[in-house]
Amino acid sequence: RFEVHLRTLKESFIFSDTYQAEIRGNYLFGGAMANQGVSWHLRLNPTFFSPPGHKGYIFGNQIDRWHEFGEEKSRLLSSGESTLDDKGKFKLSTKLIPEKEKDSILATLEATVVGPSRRSISNRIQTTVHRGKYYIGLKPSTAFLKKGNELDVSLITVDPDGEIVPEKKIRLALIKREWFSIRKRGMGGMYNWISEKKDTEIDSCFIQTKNEPQKVSFLPEKSGFYLLRAEGKDSRGNKIMTTTYFYVTGK
């Protein structure tokens, strides 16, 4: 009888870090499972993360995730088979490079160790991987704006622990999102009605963040559904983005 332990070298990572973890097999009587077989899979799974301490602020791209529900799936980053060393350990190391991920993710490591009797035991561990070294927080004054009024937006940049990190250059854009029904030819020559979205940028500005929230105002001229999209980059070149929404009501 034996057990499998997993641990990562850090409590969390940032994209462009090297993910490092240790897989360890031990017999219940205390001995190391030297030279036994081990296999692993490391997957990146979508998640939500909000730095603590900033009530009312939106972090990340939840609105895009809602509209793209079912399209965003986990990604296999690394997998393989090997043997534990003479101390019953295997060290995994792989670079965390983003592909289509817009937000922070959960790195899920699943490992299986096979004992001398061919019995196998598995374990798993999940660790947050932050999209960048900081997060952009947006807080619009309302989610329903009467046509003809200005929307006020507060913007902050904070680290994963929620501490303010100033002097970040952020581009903030006002975007009008519309949906159109179109006919597309599908399998067998049949035509189907599908809904496609169109995003039109209405206005934008650049903001240099400070120790206190920065204020911006927009005046949408038409009724409808709007996005606020804030974008920046950290010192590693990681793209950081937050998107939220509001409605303009009235004729």
Task: Give the tens place of pLDDT for each residue, 16-71.
Answer: 999 999 999 999 987 899 999 999 999 999 898 999 999 999 999 977 766 555 55
Residues of the chain with CATH 2.60.40.1940: 2-48+73-130
| Own/partner pairs, 71-74, CB within 8 angstroms, 24+ separation | 72/46, 72/100, 73/46, 74/43, 74/44, 74/45, 74/46, 74/108
Specify the higher pLDDT residue, 167 or 118: 167
Q: What is the pLDDT at residue 144?
A: 97
Q: What is the pLDDT at residue 65?
A: 66
Q: What is the pLDDT at residue 184?
A: 77
- Please determine, for residue 147, whether its predicted confidence score (pLDDT) is greater than 80: yes
Please state which of the four CATH numbers 2.60.40.290, 3.90.1170.50, 2.60.40.1930, 3.40.1390.20 is assigned to the domain occupying 135-249: 2.60.40.1930
pLDDT tens figures, 85-139 = 999 999 999 999 999 898 999 999 999 999 888 899 999 999 999 999 999 999 9
Q: What is the pLDDT at residue 67?
A: 58
Residues 55 and 154 sit within 8 Å (Cβ to Cβ): no
**Mean pLDDT score, 182-192:** 77
Q: In Å, what is the CA distance from 242 to each residue of 45, 54, 161?
A: 18, 15, 17
**Band of residue 195 on the pLDDT scale cut at 50, 70, 90:** confident
- Please determine, for residue 202, whether its predicted confidence score (pLDDT) is greater than 80: yes
**Mean pLDDT score, 171-182:** 93
- Please determine, for residue 72, whether its predicted confidence score (pLDDT) is greater than 80: no
Please state which of the four CATH numbers 3.40.5.90, 3.30.70.270, 2.60.40.1940, 3.40.190.10 is assigned to the domain occupying 2-48+73-130: 2.60.40.1940
Q: Spell 131-157 as b/e; 16+ CB within 10 A means b.
A: bbbbbbbbbbeeeebeeeeebebbbbb
pLDDT tens figures, 233-248 = 999 999 999 999 999 9
- Please determine, for residue 181, whether its predicted confidence score (pLDDT) is greater than 90: no
Residues of the chain with CATH 2.60.40.1930: 135-249
Name, in order, each residue with C-beta under 8 angstroms of 135's C-beta and a sequence gap of 6 or more. Answer: 49, 50, 51, 59, 60, 157, 158, 159, 160, 240, 242
Q: What is the pLDDT at residue 143?
A: 96
Q: What is the pLDDT at residue 137?
A: 98
Q: What is the pLDDT at residue 223?
A: 96
